[in-house]
Copies of this chain bind each other. A is one copy, B any other.
Amino acid sequence: MSRAVVEPQQDRSRLTRERLLEAALASLAESGWARTTVATVAARAGVSRGAAQHHFPTHADLVTAAIRHMADVRLEEIRDAGRALPRPVRVRAVLDHLVRLYTGPLFTAALHVWTEAAVDDELRSRVIPLEQVLAREAYRVAVTLLGVDGDDPHVRGVVSATLDLARGLGLADVLTDDAGRRCRVLDAWAVQLERALGTPVG
């Protein structure tokens, strides 16, 4: 086959894969684990069930790939937003970006998958390495945006705590809109984090 023939097929395949991943994430966030299957996601994406199963043979393949894909997209958005922050960077502004990793459809979808993994050994074996990769990447993004040395043990403690706080705020936001309270909590934490990291209060 010539390149001219191969490339459009590869593009179509990549587009089909992305439509499935986006549909899977939306379905998980709106309807939860049990109502998100390869078949329902294929229908939602307007893709044949056979094509969906070609890309994602199992339910676990599909949902873990969907979370990985959307987390990668979100991490890239946050890196870009971080590069665009005015200097010197304000800790409070960085916190608003980091919280986006733990709120919205991505977090709700991941929560459904993580919770199911607590009672499904096969799914858990897929989710644990994914969670570890995402935790490392979130940490790297956080230290890059804050402009601090991620290998310093003191930095590691307070930045890890910041990401755990963001995860806890995300969980508090799943059932009710917690944005007002979250803003006050982040205001209070930004002051402490600036002191802890020795960065100026912006």
Q: List residues of A whose CB falls within 8 A of some B CB.
A: 30-32, 34-35, 108, 111-112, 114-119, 124, 127-128, 131, 154, 156-158, 160-161, 163-172, 174-176, 181, 184-185, 187-189, 191-193, 195-196
Q: How many copies does the complex hold?
A: 2
Residue contact B161 to A167, C-beta cutoff 8 Å: no
- Do B172 and A167 touch (CB < 8 A)? yes
> CA of A191 to CA of B171 in the docked complex: distance in angstroms?
25
Q: Of B35, B119, B166, which one neighbours A168 at CB under 8 angstroms?
A: B166
Which of B35, B154, B170, B192 is the one whose CB lies under 8 Å from A196?
A: B192
The 7 closest A-B pairs by CB, nearest first: A157-B188, A168-B168, A167-B168, A164-B168, A32-B119, A115-B115, A165-B165
B127 close to A175 (CB less than 8 A) = yes
- Residues in B whose Cβ lies below 8 Å from that of A116: 32
Rounded to whole Å, the gap between the CB of A166 and the closest CB of chain B is 7
- In the complex, what residues of B have CB within 8 A of residue A156's CB? 184, 188
Report the minimum CB–CB distance from A142 to chain B (whole Å). Answer: 13
> Does B164 contact A118, Cβ atoms closer than 8 Å?
no
Query: Is B112's CB under 8 angstroms from A118's CB?
Result: yes
Known: A115-B111, A118-B112, A167-B168. Contact between A160 and B188, CB under 8 A? yes
* B117 lies within 8 A of A115 (CB): no
In whole angstroms, how far apart are the Cα atoms of A42 and B116 in the complex? 23
Contact of A160 among B119, B127, B181 (CB under 8 A): B181
Write the nearest CB–CB distance from A129 to chain B, whole angstroms: 10
Contacts of A167 in B (CB 8 A): 167-168, 171-172
With both chains docked as a complex, state the minimum distance between the C-beta of A86 and any C-beta of chain B, in angstroms.
25
